[in-house]
Structure formats: structure tokens, C-alpha cells
Amino acid sequence: MASRYLEPEIERRSRAAMTRWQAVRLREQVRHAAAHSPFYRRKFKAAKMKPAQIRTLDDLRRLPFTTKDELKENQANRPPWGDVLAVPLADVMRVHLTSATTGRPLAFLDTREDWHGFYHSYARSLYAYGVRQKDMVMAAFSYGPWIGYWSGFYAAQDLGCLVFPVGGLSTDQRIDALLNYPITVLGCTPSYALFLAEAATKKGVDLAKDTRIRITWHTGEPGASIPATRAKIEAAFGAKAYDLPGLTEIAAWGFECDARSGLTHVHEDYCYPEVLDEQGRPVAPGERGELVFTSLYRKAMPLIRYRTRDVVQVADRKCPCGRTLVSFEGGVLGRLDDMKKVRGIIVYPRRIEELVRPHAAVDEFQIVFRRHEGLDEILVRIDPSPSLSLAEREGLRTQLGDRLRTGLGLRAAVEITESGTLPRWDHKARRVVDERTEVPF
Ligand SMILES: [Zn+2]
């Protein structure tokens, strides 16, 4: 039987061997950053730390965090690249921009070896989904400075797949390509997968029957790790859908495997994960915390203790696939930046998606946080499938209202809009609107 691992010697490495390996890489990265990155030289000096004091993974906790705001400020003050950069600019061969929702995006630079690390670990994820050299792959991300398209394309190429470049094509042209070429694997954001499926249905195309897609993978948003969203995508394409969490600044750091156990494995030979509570202490297995990454391979911008703002839960069980890599339960469970407080209760938009998506009659939705007569409230707008009768619409409203109240622990208003009125998203969705002028925390 062919192996289910691209690199079994890494994916099944013993804990002791992985720790030794990580510690060697960590010492090298810290030395490199201190010697060549003015940004990190200042940070280490301010923390009164010398690279030689960092010997083990535990020592890492003595170093300060790095935040995205710091990186942005650094680039704003020292345009255009800032001075995190720890190699001569001539050694840099790629630039990508993070997809900023506010302010200027962060520019991230890579050397040839950095870039290889990014797409090679990504290729390992694709292999874990079951993608093989014989596959023909479509990476339906936008062609531009966002890393999504490039990393997906290079990763598939790294496995030797035939890659169909569709970055600049319209949705109609992509549907046409799926019908006319033997494309077996599709990568896109989860929002775009649903957008593409809806567009195909309108044209009378059944993607599940009329195409050869067998695997889809999704990144840019956590949708494919939400069971109901994944089920919707799988039904539309007649394929298995996989989640690929990643960060431009760190790596395409995680993947679900073909055991489909609900666990997300981490490429911890490329990036060392810490999961920390609010006081910055490591959480126990089974607990949730903020994911903090230290890059173990990138030399151009070697981030140390980078706060991702992503909330994850450290797994306290093993995956049946046999991988020994650190794993999280169910991908990214929420973003600290997306966290909302409503009448004292913490609400993550992802949780609302988990509650709303299982209903087949929900085509699209929007979450509005607003203040009504001095009280915070949540309004969930539902764009229903066009076939619903008036009575069914009312039934859906009541049913979702009950489900949200039970699932969130507070009442949410539900409004059923006219079918087709809510915005659709062909890249990353922005389904959350916060109308409150001040945030009460
Ligand atoms: Zn697994």
C-alpha cells in the first residue's frame, strides 16, 4: 500500500527527537535574528536577553512576544520593508501582502529557501488529504499579492501534479474549465466554494455529477473545519473537503488528514507552536488558548513568539493516522480580534456559523451586533433558499431562534430576508457587522 505520509520520518518522529530538532532550529533562528535583524536586536536588548541564554524550548518563554501591530508599525516607520529583515534585500525573491481588513497590509519577504519551506510544508498537507502526482489541480484563489494562490499552486506543483492556473479567470470561466478538463482537486476559500457552487447551480451545472473533483481544500477562513459548512461544500462538489489553516507570516501551518478525526496536525518542524492562556502560561491538553508561533525556518523575516490571535484547543487524544505531530481539536476555533461581548457573554462569529449552517434552507447569512434601546443584541439575517414557502420561512425563523438561544446562551433576533439579497463572497467573507459605536469591554 502506498504511504499516507509524504515524509513519514518527520510526521511520525518521536517526541524526544522532535524536541531536539526544534531546539537546534530555535537556537539557530534566535542567533540569526539577533545578529542580522535590527528589530530583534532592539527587542532582545530591551528584554536584557542574549541569544546564548536560549538553549531549550522552555527558554523561549523568556523572550518577548512579537505582534502584528508591531510589525505594521515597524513598516510604517521604516518604509517600505521595516527592519525585521535579517538578510540582504538581494537575497529576497518573493513578497506577499497579508489580507488586511483595516489599514495598510503587511509586506512579507522570503528568500528562495524560505519560500521552499512555505510551499513544501503545504505540499505535505495536500498529500495528507490524498492529493497525488496523478491529480490535476485548480487553485481558484485570486492572482495577486495574497499568498493563497501562489502557495497552493507551488505546493501542488511540488507534488508533481498538473496545475491549472486560474488566478485571473472569472467564475464562469472556472466552471467551464471544471467541465472541460479532468480537474480532480480544487483549492479555494470556503466562501468561494459556496459561491462557485451557487453560480454553477444557476447555470444548470451540477458540480458533483458533471465534474471529476474528488478533493477540495480550503484556506483563508476556518469554514472547512466547521462540520456543517464542510458538509455543504462536500455535497455541492461530491468530494471530500479539507481545512488548511495558515498565516502569511508563519506558514500554511496545519492540516486535517484523511483519517478525518476532527484533529488539525501542525507542521511543527517548520513552526514551533505555543498555546497560552491570558497570563501567557501554556495551557494543558484539552484546554483552549491563543496560538503563538516561532518560525523555525524563515530567514528573511524570522518571527519569534508571534501572537496569531487565533484560539485553538490542544488535543488530548491521538489521531488514528499515526502522526505524532502536535494536534488541535477542530482547527482555528475563533479569532481574538473577532470576539464579541454581548450582555456579558463572549460570542465568536464562528459559533453562530456552526449553529446556522446545518439548516439546508440557509443559503447565506449575516451577523449584526447592534445596540437596541440601550441593550446589546445580536441579529442574524438569513438569506433562505428560493423555494421556501411563507410558512416554511416562519418555521425556519423560529427554529433558528431556538437553536441560537440554546447554543449561545443568549437570545438572538433572526430575520429572514428575501432570497438572494445578502452579499455573496468570492474571496474571504465579511459576514459580521458591528453597528455598536463603542465596544463595551
Ligand atoms: Zn491524522
Task: Give per-residue pLDDT as tens, 317-329.
Answer: 999 999 999 999 9
In this prediction, residue 440 carries a pLDDT of: 38
Cα(63) to centroid of ligand 1, in Å? Answer: 32
Cα(324) to centroid of ligand 1, in Å? Answer: 9
Cα(14) to centroid of ligand 1, in Å? Answer: 15
Residue 368's DSSP bridge partners are 379, 433
Residue 358: cis peptide before it, omega within 30 degrees of 0 = no
Cα(166) to centroid of ligand 1, in Å? Answer: 30
Confidence of residue 428 (pLDDT cuts 50, 70, 90): confident
Cα(261) to centroid of ligand 1, in Å? Answer: 7
Largest CA-CA distance found in the chain, in angstroms, rounded: 71
- Give 217 or 350, the one with higher predicted confidence: 217
Q: How far apart are CA 410 and CA 407, in angstroms?
A: 8
Lowest mean pLDDT among 88-92, 296-300, 350-354: 350-354
In this prediction, residue 437 carries a pLDDT of: 53
Residue 280 clears pLDDT 70, i.e. is over it: yes
In degrees and rounded to multiples of 5, residue 171 shows phi and psi of -60, -40
Mean pLDDT on 129-150: 94
Cα(351) to centroid of ligand 1, in Å? Answer: 24
Cα(59) to centroid of ligand 1, in Å? Answer: 29
- Counting residues of the chain whose pLDDT is more than 90, the rounded percentage is 83
Cα(143) to centroid of ligand 1, in Å? Answer: 31
Cα(316) to centroid of ligand 1, in Å? Answer: 13
Cα(239) to centroid of ligand 1, in Å? Answer: 19
Closest to 382 (Cα-Cα) out of 402, 365, 359, 360: 365
- Cβ density class 397-426: b for 16+ within 10 Å, e for less: beebeebbeeebeeebebebeebeebeebb
Cα(16) to centroid of ligand 1, in Å? Answer: 20
